[in-house]
Every structure is written in structure tokens, then in C-alpha cells.
Amino acid sequence: MYNILMHSDEISRVEYDPNHPFKPGRGKQLLDLLKRHNLIFEDNQKIISPEPLDESLLLLAHTRYYIDLFKRADEGEFSLEMLEAGLGTGDNPVFRGMYRFALLTSGGTWQGAQMLDSGEARFVFNPIGGYHHAGKNHAGGFCYVNDIGIAIMDLIKRGRRVVYVDVDVHHGNGVQDLFYKDSRVLKISIHESGMTLYPWSGFQNEIGADAGRGYNVNIPLLKGTDDEVYVEAFESVVPPLVKAFGPDIVFAQIGGDVHKEDPLAHLRLTSNGYKRVIQTINELSPKVMATGGGGYNVYKTSALWALAWATFCGLTPSDHYAGVVGGMMYGPEAHAGSLEDEPFVVKGAEKDEYRRHADEVVDYIRKQVFPIHGI
């Protein structure tokens, strides 16, 4: 089975707005780092250019009304209804070609899920995918079309069991809302608390409803939380729940905005904690559909994704350019002979506060959710 990277130069060239923090060009930077660190030349690896999603599949996660508004906005129309649907805002500007961009990025996630389901692939990574904030009838948080929701909905309609693990710093509210009453998908999101960060949701008491009660799990953490507390909380909750659920496929939204140098959020992870979490997901998962999600320090995000790719593929990065003068050594990553960060640990009363909060969240989940799964 193959390890597959979804990439196209067309996607990487897209720009929401020159000053917008979401940069699809991270996909090209990731590919450069994979080549530089000897991570993309194995016989069992493929780079595939995504095909546009069939428009009819959008209806798996969105209303016809919203899709029509989105298409009309792309064609240059403007209406108050579009603004009400989140189109034309600062977060989700209208730009030429945005509908094709959404179809291409969503197509990469859907196509990857199909390849996993057929047995052609064991791991697929769509770095410019993972639009977990898009709702049924609105855009939000830089997300126009919920590619994850579409691909998961298609799988569960065919009887597959799916776990969705979201380690992006922002709560995966769009995916949560889509499957909140559904027991066919186990959704776990670990993120900075909605008390301090968009989308202001994802608290531990949001555990699903009706048939889906106990199948929606949130691990909100205080801003400033470091690797140690993050990994402790993740490993206390995710492995037992995933093992109890027994998925056919795991979706992993692996946003790089958990990094301590991300400009739009406040967790303080390094590559060390991030890689540990990726290793755990890899060990738990029979097949993995990973999406890139957020990350607004472009180099750090690309470096974290390169580490994730290496982990899922069972490879160790080795820098071809280490010690060489010229070329990429003059680029933005010139300071980084390695994709890895130095360890960073918070101490004292601050650390105690982060751990106390995380322990309370984990205790709540153990009492309210674990028994539903026989744990």
C-alpha cells in the first residue's frame, strides 16, 4: 500500500488576499522540505494532483442554498445573503477562482479517503485540506467547504467506522456540528479553550446528543499550555477511546498552529509534543487520512507537516543541505538545520494551573464519556 501526498502547483499558487494569513503556498514549501530532507523518494510513495470534487458530493455536508450562493459569489455577484453566509468577510474573502479551489482541495481529501478505503493506500496527506470550520450553510474561519465532513459522510454511508482526531489549535466546530447526533463517527478535538480562541466553542460538556451522545469529545486546554500537559491530556483520552471504537479509517486534522510561534493562537507546543501526538495517532490507526488545517507561521507549519509525513511513513529526516553555503541556507529556514525544535517546558505555578485544568477536563471525559464506550 502507498503513502500518498496530495499536491498541485495550482493549489499552492492560490491567494485569498495578499494580507490574509491563510497561505496555500505552504503546500509547495512542504514539498521542498520533503525533498530537502530525503522524505519523498521511496518506492511506496506517490505524489498525486487532486481532481476537482464532483459538485453533487458537496450536498453531503452543505445545503444547496449555500452552494449556489458560493458559486454566485465566485462569479462576481454580491448580496447581503452572501455576507450572512460568511462570504466576503475578512476571514473568508471572495476571490477569483475560489470555487474551483474549494473543489480541488475537497477533491484531494475525498479522493484520498477512497484510496484508503479501497486498500490502495495506508496513509494519505492533503496538506491544503482540513476545512473544519465550514458549516452546512456558511463559511467561517478561512473555510468555505468542509472537505472532511464530505469525505467522512461518504464513508459512513457505505458502512465504514470513522474516527476523527483534530489536533489543530482551533476547535473543529464544523465537523462537530455535522455529526453531533451520529454514533457512526467518533470525533475528538484537542484545542485551545474557546474561552480565549475562535470559534469560542469545544468545551468538555459538548459530548454529543441523541444517538451521538458520547461520540463527541472535546479536550479544551488553557492558553499557554506546553508539550507536557498537552501530550498527557491527549494520551489519557485518545488511545482508549479509539481502541474501544475500532475504526476502519482515522481522519487526522494536524494543524500546525499549535506551535508556540504561531501568530494567531496561544498554545506553546514545539515539534517534540507535536511529533509525539502524531506517533500515537499512527500507532492507533489502521489507515490515516490526514489534512493540514491551520498554521500561520508558514515555515514552522511546513516543518511540522514534514515531521508528520516522516512519522507516518516511518522515515527519519536527513538534511541534504546541512553545512552547505548558498541555496536554501539563505532562506527563511536558514537558522534550522533540523526540522526539530529545542525542548520548551513551562514551570512553576503557571504549569500547575495548566495541568490542573487539563486534569479536570480529562476527569470529566472519563466519567461522562468512557462508560458509554465500555471503558
Question: Are the beta carbons of 68 and 140 closer than 8 angstroms?
Answer: no
Q: Please give the Cα distance from 341 to 332 (Å, whole number).
A: 15
Count Cβ atoms within 10 A of the Cβ of residue 195 and give its class: 0-12 exposed, 13-18 middle, 19 or more buried: exposed
Q: Which long-range contacts (CB under 8 A, 24 or more apart) does 193-200 make?
A: 193/220, 193/221, 193/222, 193/223, 194/220, 195/220, 196/222, 196/223, 196/266, 197/169, 197/170, 197/171, 197/223, 197/265, 197/266, 198/141, 198/170, 199/133, 199/140, 199/141, 199/170, 199/171, 199/173
To the nearest 10 degrees (0 to 180), the angle between helices 348-368 and 227-245 is: 10
Q: Position 134: which residue type?
A: A
How far apart are the two ends of the chain, measured CA to CA in Å?
A: 33
- Report the sign of the C-alpha dihedral through residues 344, 345, 350, 352, in that order: positive
Does residue 133 have an active-site annotation? yes
∠ Cα 151 280 203 (to 5°): 65
Q: Which of 7, 37, 62, 133 is catalytic?
A: 133
Residues 6+ away with beta carbon under 8 Å from 370: 240, 241
Q: Are strands 249-253 and 288-291 parallel, antiparallel or unpaired?
A: parallel
Q: Which residues carry out catalysis?
A: 133
